Chains A and B, each alone.
Chain A
Amino acid sequence: MEILVASAIGILTAGGLYLMLRLRTFPVILGMSLLTYAVNVFLFASGRLTVGAPPILRDGVTVYTDPLPQALVLTAIVISFGMTAVVVMIALGAFLGSDDDHVDDRPDGADRQPGGRS
């Protein structure tokens, strides 16, 4: 199970990094979302993996999973929504303002004609 979680983290990171290196805003945003998943799962996994022992106190139960990473990741998930929303808004504003959704100031090599700079 450990290898599955670790490989999931690795694959999410790889996919996130690849998309983040694209030239348009939308794939970059998706890439950052993938990276967010990877980081959240990574942080969560720092409490090690436990099956069937949620940190809800019950009489007679002595084994619980580590609650602290969960609390930290919970707020991280909510905050990352806020940050995604801000980035999307900035990307949208830039696109609506210039009709151009490139993330770079100067694309290397590509000869770009900004369409809507009217």
Chain B
Amino acid sequence: MSLLIIVALPFLGALLPGLMNSAGRAACAGVTFTVSLAAFIGLLTNLPTVLAGDVVMARVDWMPALGLNFTLMLDSLGFFFALLILGIGLLIIAYARHYLSRDDNMGEFFTYLLLFQGAMVGIVLSDNILLLLVFWELTSLSSFLLIGFWKHLPEGRQGARMALVTTGMGGLSMIAGMLILGQIVGSYDLSVILQNRDLIQADPLYLTALILILLGCFTKSAQFPFHFWLPHAMAAPTPVSAYLHSATMVKAGIFLMARMWPVLSGTPEWFVIVTTAGLVTMVLGAVIALFKHDLKALLAFSTVSHLGLITMLLGTGTAFGAMAAVFHILNHATFKAALFMSAGIIDHETHTRDIRRLGGLRHLMPVTFVIATLAALSMAGIPLLNGFLSKEMMLEEANHTVLFDVPWLVPALATFGALFSAAYCFRLIWHVFLGPVRDDYPAKPHDPPAGLWMPPATLVLLVVVIGVAPFLAEPFVKLITASVLGDAAEIPAAHFKIWHGLVPALFMSIIAVVGGLVMMAVFNPALRLWDAAPRPEAKAIFDAITDATASLARKLILPIHDGAFTRYAAIGSVAIFAVGYHAWSTGSIGFPTRTPQPASPVFIGGWAMLVAATAGLVLMHRNRFLSLILIGIVGLMVSIGFVFLSAPDLAMTQFTVEVVTIILLLLALNFLPNHTPIESTVLRRVRDAGIAILGGLATFALAHHYLLREAVSTPISEFHLANSYKGGGGNNVVNVILVDFRGFDTYGEIIVLGIAALLIYALTETLLDGPVRARLLNRKPDQARAGDTHPMMMVVLTRVLLPLVLMVGFYIFLRGHNEPGGGFIAGLIVSIGVVMQYMASGFSWTSARLKYPYHGVIGAGVLTAGLTGIGSWFVGKPFLTSDFTYVRIPPFEKFELATAAMFDLGVFLAVVGAVMLSLESFSRLARRAHTPDSEHAMDIDPSRVRPAPDSAVFTRGDV
């Protein structure tokens, strides 16, 4: 099966559990299991190639310009991890099916689990390091969701956040490290990077890249000093702990160290950093684990300790160390996942994980006892179980490792760690299963159904088989070691054997086991000593650091980002000005190449009116109604300017938009205060004027500069002029650009317009549903109302005008392809015609005569335009390719039929719908406010003028 499918399967499958949720728990787990199984089998189909020592590749170019390609690679190391992820994943899914209670949302759980599984498989199969980083972050995110799965538990939420912060921070630094690595080599493909050991290690940035990448690995694999998040992540449901925190996610950092081993290891820096971190983590984790009373916390710290062990082995930089590390990854995954699942079983059956409340379970839960004991003994390093073999190899390697020039340091610490490791394993067996049967368990313990004990039993079977017959695992482990080593070293010749003779490692092993037993004998006094000793609490330190960081960020950001819009606008304007000034003063400015054109008196007159209106607007903006009139003049002058400067289409659009905008602002002003009070100080107004003048001068200078110069490169407009008639069949080049050359842009824009209108509609609905509604109903108008709300003259006139306006709109629409006009302008004209009816005859009267809701009109417009675009697919052309022909129907003249006209129809409908929906929403607010809307159009109120307070009698019932 293609690697792409293997990686994609869990992600695609993640959609299924949520869908199957209502079909029952069995179906939900079943579909998840099937998806994983399919990926697992797909992986196995690649086994022959991998066994032959070949590498399977799959490649899809994603963003080649960035060096980011979807390249997957399957060698024996990747195969090994993928096998662990998918294989243990299958067992976990089966286990979780029985573990989760009926209150848990199973679909949600399995969706997260599959997302996580896909991300993990992605990491181990990525050949591109940028792609690897994407998957790496995905595992952080999905594990956040899984750890925090029990959202009601504060520990779950806090643990999830701590894990995300820690691994996320590591992920960020790793991105930096990987980018440096890619820059050194000149490629982001792992297969290329792995060939360039000397180049990388000779680079001055090697140490920086190494530290950054190791930060990522150490945080993910919970290495000292980042080990603290893993125990807190144990608030997750046990299947998650077993899957993420023993077998897979915490191994991602280890995996990356192994993957990068050929190019990063072997230097003194690597040796000191990695070996020290691993050694400290191993000893620290083992000591803390011994004194934990929570079963899962004990296992969590033991995991930390074992991850340290593997890290230390990779750190030594020798081929034998790498082989021991690979072997221990395998062994640890088997016995630790089994132990976690056993802990889950005990929790499930006795309702407690506190070791002090357990004991004597061997009689009550014999099956669990056998499984857990075998796994724990393997972890303790007892012969005939797999843990013994890799632990011997570890001790052997430690014996040859000299750190800081002290020959006894590493062997002594390794033995010390192994001693505590054995001790906590014995404690687990002793205090949970041995001893007398108690009568105060929170629940009556008994062995679980087979669904719960089968998955760990499968793993324990592996533990025993590898332990008894290590030669079975040897070829596989050596094959993986070969791909870890790459070309950097030869595979060690040593064989996996139970009996190596009386070597030092054996004596160290014996010391560890005997010492562990002694430790158990003096456990109670040791515990008292431990409880009395002062220890730093990781969570408190972590909280203090995050709080300090957050408050620092607050201190830095809040003075700038204080919620004051005017401040943002001022800072933004000044910043843009500064950047522009920098460009202006550092760039080169050529001489003018165009001669200024003379201005006619009419043009100067128009300019003077525009300037006067703008100045008046600024000076008199406190009178809001007056400022509305002034901005209307500005708009009018701009439209006339467009007429003058050869832009008839723009002029028509600006003019019609001006009309609807003013109507809209008038409707809004109906509610807003009609005066702006003086609030700002003189100093502030001077400051604002300064900013405004700066901005004005800058835009003036920029506009004046380029108006007098030709474009730096040839404009593309020649193409549009040349092809408008030939290719688009229209003489109006602007319209042809809109509906044909850049039709896709226009399509996007009518959608945006439609969304804006729907947003306004939604806001109105929300307002009318909320407390605002009552306020609107009780609102008293601040001015006297007109006596005739629907003046007869206006009603008659608008009705006579309506067909005329529609005809003009129709005409403007049809001629749009060849003469100024088109869908946008026609849409605006028709909207104005309809708005006139609202204004003259009233809201109720007009709405009662509307056949189609405006949302539908918007939708019809977007659909028409979209379907026209899709139509070109059927003739094998790209989206929105237009076509046209000329037809002649006597007695008319020859005319053109273009598919672009259909598209323009869509534009027309969308514009009408959007404009009308916006204005209608505003007038609905007005309607609810104070006027009882009459159903009759021409109502003449005999009372002539109704004073404002009278309107209070029109209460809700009248509306």
Asked if B950 is an interface residue, CB under 8 A from chain A, the answer is no
- Contact status A82-B753, CB under 8 Å: yes
Given A4-B603, A50-B645, A103-B565, CB of A21 within 8 Å of CB of B691:
yes
Asked if A60 is an interface residue, CB under 8 A from chain B, the answer is no
* Tally of B interface residues using CB under 8 Å: 119
Q: What's the minimum C-beta distance from B554 to chain A, rounded to whole angstroms? A: 15
Considering only CB atoms, which chain A residue lies closest to B627 in the complex? A30
Q: What's the minimum C-beta distance from A83 to chain B, rounded to whole angstroms? A: 6
- Residues of A with C-beta under 8 A to B671: 92, 95-96
Asked if B899 is an interface residue, CB under 8 A from chain A, the answer is no
- Contact status B649-A9, CB under 8 Å: no
Asked if B717 is an interface residue, CB under 8 A from chain A, the answer is yes
- Contact status A91-B668, CB under 8 Å: yes
- Contact status A56-B680, CB under 8 Å: no
- Contact status B607-A4, CB under 8 Å: yes
- Residues of A with C-beta under 8 A to B665: 29, 88
- Residues of B with C-beta under 8 A to A73: 647, 650
- Contact status B703-A42, CB under 8 Å: yes
- Residues of B with C-beta under 8 A to A116: 775
The residue from B604, B607, B649, B756 contacting A74, defined by CB atoms under 8 A apart? B649
The residue from A20, A30, A85 contacting B617, defined by CB atoms under 8 A apart? A30
Asked if B688 is an interface residue, CB under 8 A from chain A, the answer is yes
Considering only CB atoms, which chain B residue lies closest to A2 in the complex? B707
- Contact status A86-B756, CB under 8 Å: yes
Apart from A23-B566, A96-B775, what are 8 other A-B pairs with CB-CB below 8 Å? Answer: A2-B597, A10-B696, A40-B638, A46-B706, A55-B732, A57-B725, A79-B753, A86-B756
- Contact status A86-B647, CB under 8 Å: no
- Residues of B with C-beta under 8 A to A8: 607, 610-611, 641
In the complex, 20 of the A-B residue pairs with CB atoms within 8 angstroms, ordered by the A residue number, are A5-B645, A10-B703, A15-B615, A17-B688, A18-B689, A23-B680, A24-B679, A27-B621, A42-B703, A45-B706, A49-B597, A55-B721, A55-B733, A57-B725, A67-B720, A75-B738, A79-B749, A86-B760, A88-B922, A93-B772
Taking CB atoms and an 8 Å cut-off, the chain B residues in 700-733 that contact chain A are: 700-704, 706-708, 710-711, 715-717, 720-721, 724-725, 731-733
- Contact status B696-A17, CB under 8 Å: yes
Write the A98-118 contact mask toward B (1 if CB under 8 angstroms, else 0). Answer: 000101111111100000100
The residue from A25, A33, A106 contacting B631, defined by CB atoms under 8 A apart? A33
- Contact status B566-A22, CB under 8 Å: yes
- Residues of A with C-beta under 8 A to B638: 37, 40-41
Bound Cα distance A11, B427 (Å): 83
Q: Which of A15, A27, A42 has the most CB of B within 10 A?
A: A15
Considering only CB atoms, which chain A residue lies closest to B917 in the complex? A85
Considering only CB atoms, which chain B residue lies closest to A12 in the complex? B614
Asked if B91 is an interface residue, CB under 8 A from chain A, the answer is no
- Contact status B634-A37, CB under 8 Å: yes
Q: What's the minimum C-beta distance from A28 to chain B, rounded to whole angstroms? A: 7
Asked if B942 is an interface residue, CB under 8 A from chain A, the answer is no
Asked if B514 is an interface residue, CB under 8 A from chain A, the answer is no
Write the B630-663 contact mask toward A (1 if CB under 8 angstroms, else 0). Answer: 0100110010011011111110011001001100
Interface of chain B, main secondary structure: helix
- Contact status A10-B914, CB under 8 Å: no
Bound Cα distance A48, B710 (Å): 8
The residue from A3, A30, A40 contacting B621, defined by CB atoms under 8 A apart? A30
- Contact status A82-B650, CB under 8 Å: no
The 10 closest A-B pairs by CB, nearest first: A10-B700, A14-B696, A105-B563, A82-B756, A6-B704, A18-B692, A71-B737, A67-B733, A104-B564, A6-B703
Taking CB atoms and an 8 Å cut-off, the chain A residues in 23-70 that contact chain B are: 23-30, 33-34, 37-38, 40-42, 44-58, 64-68, 70
**B266-274, B441-449, B459-467, B818-826: which one contacts chain A?**
B818-826
Write the B684-703 contact mask toward A (1 if CB under 8 angstroms, else 0). Answer: 00001101110111111111
- Contact status B772-A96, CB under 8 Å: yes
- Contact status B733-A21, CB under 8 Å: no
- Contact status B631-A9, CB under 8 Å: no
Considering only CB atoms, which chain B residue lies closest to A84 in the complex? B661
Asked if B624 is an interface residue, CB under 8 A from chain A, the answer is yes
- Contact status B707-A5, CB under 8 Å: yes
Q: What's the minimum C-beta distance from B696 to chain A, rounded to whole angstroms? A: 3
- Contact status A45-B614, CB under 8 Å: no
The residue from B657, B819, B914 contacting A77, defined by CB atoms under 8 A apart? B657
Asked if B746 is an interface residue, CB under 8 A from chain A, the answer is yes
Q: What's the minimum C-beta distance from A75 to chain B, rounded to whole angstroms? A: 5
Asked if B458 is an interface residue, CB under 8 A from chain A, the answer is no
Q: Which of A1, A19, A82, A101 has the most CB of B within 10 A?
A: A82
Given A53-B646, A68-B715, A90-B763, CB of A78 within 8 Å of CB of B699:
no
- Contact status A56-B763, CB under 8 Å: no
Considering only CB atoms, which chain A residue lies closest to B577 in the complex? A17
Q: What's the minimum C-beta distance from A81 to chain B, rounded to whole angstroms? A: 5
Instruction: Show the binding face of A for B, using Cβ within 8 Å.
Output: 1-30, 33-34, 37-38, 40-42, 44-58, 64-68, 70-71, 73-75, 77-86, 88-93, 95-97, 101, 103-110, 116
The residue from B564, B598, B701 contacting A105, defined by CB atoms under 8 A apart? B564
- Contact status B767-A97, CB under 8 Å: yes
- Residues of B with C-beta under 8 A to A55: 646, 721, 732-734
The residue from A14, A18, A95 contacting B672, defined by CB atoms under 8 A apart? A95
- Residues of B with C-beta under 8 A to A3: 596, 704
Q: What's the minimum C-beta distance from B927 to chain A, rounded to whole angstroms? A: 14
**B179-187, B364-372, B567-575: which one contacts chain A?**
B567-575
- Residues of B with C-beta under 8 A to A91: 668, 672
Bound Cα distance A111, B292 (Å): 58
Bound Cα distance A55, B710 (Å): 19
Considering only CB atoms, which chain A residue lies closest to B759 in the complex? A86
Q: Which of B607, B641, B645, B756 has the most CB of A within 10 A?
A: B645
Given A49-B645, A55-B733, CB of A93 within 8 Å of CB of B824:
no
Q: What's the minimum C-beta distance from B632 to chain A, rounded to whole angstroms? A: 10
The residue from A5, A83, A95 contacting B703, defined by CB atoms under 8 A apart? A5
- Residues of B with C-beta under 8 A to A7: 607, 611, 700, 704
- Contact status B597-A26, CB under 8 Å: no
Given A67-B737, A74-B738, A77-B654, CB of A56 within 8 Å of CB of B818:
yes
- Contact status B672-A82, CB under 8 Å: no
Q: What's the minimum C-beta distance from A118 to chain B, rounded to whole angstroms? A: 9
- Contact status B646-A51, CB under 8 Å: yes
- Contact status B911-A78, CB under 8 Å: yes
Asked if B151 is an interface residue, CB under 8 A from chain A, the answer is no
Q: What's the minimum C-beta distance from B923 to chain A, rounded to whole angstroms? A: 12
- Contact status A64-B733, CB under 8 Å: yes
The residue from A51, A53, A57, A90 contacting B731, defined by CB atoms under 8 A apart? A57
Considering only CB atoms, which chain A residue lies closest to B827 in the complex? A78
- Residues of A with C-beta under 8 A to B569: 17, 20-21
Bound Cα distance A81, B715 (Å): 28
- Contact status A19-B617, CB under 8 Å: yes
Bound Cα distance A90, B766 (Å): 11
- Residues of A with C-beta under 8 A to B673: 101
- Contact status A68-B717, CB under 8 Å: yes
Q: What's the minimum C-beta distance from A6 to chain B, rounded to whole angstroms? A: 4
Asked if B742 is an interface residue, CB under 8 A from chain A, the answer is yes
The residue from A23, A27, A37, A82 contacting B757, defined by CB atoms under 8 A apart? A82
Considering only CB atoms, which chain A residue lies closest to B910 in the complex? A78
The residue from B611, B631, B653, B918 contacting A30, defined by CB atoms under 8 A apart? B631
- Contact status A17-B731, CB under 8 Å: no
Q: What's the minimum C-beta distance from A95 to chain B, rounded to whole angstroms? A: 6
Q: What's the minimum C-beta distance from B730 to chain A, rounded to whole angstroms? A: 8
- Residues of B with C-beta under 8 A to A48: 594, 707, 710-711
- Contact status B700-A9, CB under 8 Å: yes
- Contact status B664-A88, CB under 8 Å: yes
Q: What's the minimum C-beta distance from B612 to chain A, rounded to whole angstroms? A: 10
- Contact status A38-B621, CB under 8 Å: no
Bound Cα distance A24, B766 (Å): 23
Q: Which of A10, A38, A67, A108 has the most CB of B within 10 A?
A: A67
Q: What's the minimum C-beta distance from B766 to chain A, rounded to whole angstroms? A: 8
- Residues of A with C-beta under 8 A to B627: 27, 30
